Amino acid sequence: MSATAQSPKVQTNDPAILGFVDCDVHPYTKSPADLDAFLPKRWRELRQTIGARSRSPFVAAPNYPRMSPGTGMRMDAWPEDGGHPGSNLNMMREQLLDAFDVSFGMMMPLLGRGGDSRDVEFGAALCTAANEWEAQTWCDPEPRLKAAVQITTEYTEAAIKEIELRAGDRRFTHVMIPPRGLEPLGRRRYWKILEACAANNFPIALHLGGTSGHASTGGGWPSFYHEEHPSYPQSKEALVTSLVTEGVFEHIPNLRVALVEGGFAWLPSLSWRLDKHYKRLRAEVPHLKMLPSEYIRRNIWVTTQPMEEPEQPDDILATCEWIGWDRIMFSTDYPHWDQDDPRYALKVRIPEKEKRMLFRENALSFYNLTV
């Protein structure tokens, strides 16, 4: 006998949690063919006959197998009428949006994967299709869901065109760039895209992902998922370092960047190390007018999932102080296996003011959201 379908009842009267802004929600298609309706005929035929070609050795699988089916899904998130977790709006409402009276869900779609395509023309078409699919399938029936502008950073003109196309459309609130690209994001070749994000008042969400073909850790390919998962912060550390030292934040002071799904406890130690080296190696990077930590403090935000779980739960408070409470935003990562529940993810009591900032106020301001 199988377990009967019963979603856990949400029991919370915590006003800081009810109405929170979820900074990482994943919508999925029921089938890859769902994007066909938004692809021009040429690309629809190419998808059906040749298919996508990424820079990874795997066409239809992640770099490392996950622990649960469907590239690592919450096992109670499979819709009863079939389809993939995250593909059924009613179920998403029941398990997340209505359950917590979520004010806004920031979508980070991991499909289409236009940014991974070696054929950049096809990649750009996939991005446009996925963006249109997000807006029509999710934002129109559920305005609490906010869409990401997916782009391919390897085709500058198309990326800028897509950013400009979505600017002013309030369904779109952020540009999404996968951290694992061909080169570190601070390189000059990406500056025009970054400039376009800032010029159009889009913050950038760097959500874990991207198949560059490089090994996922700095030391080579991992053997275990247990080894792969901690590589997420590594890719974020490389990007933050690149953005700071290349001078991106000196060149575009109003660029706002959120690091999504890479944890956050590593950020203070990276800041300390960058500052230490600045005192020794400043002459190499004279274009930096502030300490690296000051650029980080001004331009970088973090999201919480996968939540740090220190042995002494109180240590999380010091970590958040070091980063700055105004720079930390709560995220669930629904419907993935490693998602966090807003009621239980933090194992320590957070002061009320900081809790409101973490669950709601920081994200409203970062994403220019009005309730």
Partner 1 sequence: MARHVVATAGEIPVGGKKVVNPAGREICVFNVNGEHYALINRCPHEGAALSYGPVVGCFESKRPGEYALTRHGEMLRCPWHGWEFDIKTGQSWCHPESVKARTYKVEVVAGSHLAKGPFVAETVQVTVDGEYIVVEV
Task: List residues binding partner 1 (CB under 8 A).
Answer: 1-4, 6-8, 67-68, 74-76, 337-341, 343-345
Q: What is the DSSP letter of 371?
A: -
Residue 174's beta-bridge partner residues?
A: 148
d(CA 11, CA 96): 13
Give rounded-to-5 percent helix, strand, coil for the chain: 40, 10, 45
- Our CB check for partner 1 shows the closer of 4 and 312 to be 4
- In angstroms, give the least distance from the CB of 292 to partner 1: 34
Number of C-beta neighbours around residue 61 at 10 A: 11
| DSSP string computed for 123-150 | HHHHHHHHHHHIIIIIITT-TTEEEEEE
- Our CB check for partner 1 shows the closer of 249 and 334 to be 334
- In angstroms, give the least distance from the CB of 231 to partner 1: 18
- In angstroms, give the least distance from the CB of 339 to partner 1: 7
Cα 208 to the chain's mean position, in Å?
6
Secondary structure of residue 29 in the 3-state scheme: coil
Number of C-beta neighbours around residue 260 at 10 A: 29
- Our CB check for partner 1 shows the closer of 36 and 76 to be 76
- In angstroms, give the least distance from the CB of 313 to partner 1: 12
- In angstroms, give the least distance from the CB of 118 to partner 1: 34
- Our CB check for partner 1 shows the closer of 49 and 223 to be 223
- Our CB check for partner 1 shows the closer of 8 and 57 to be 8
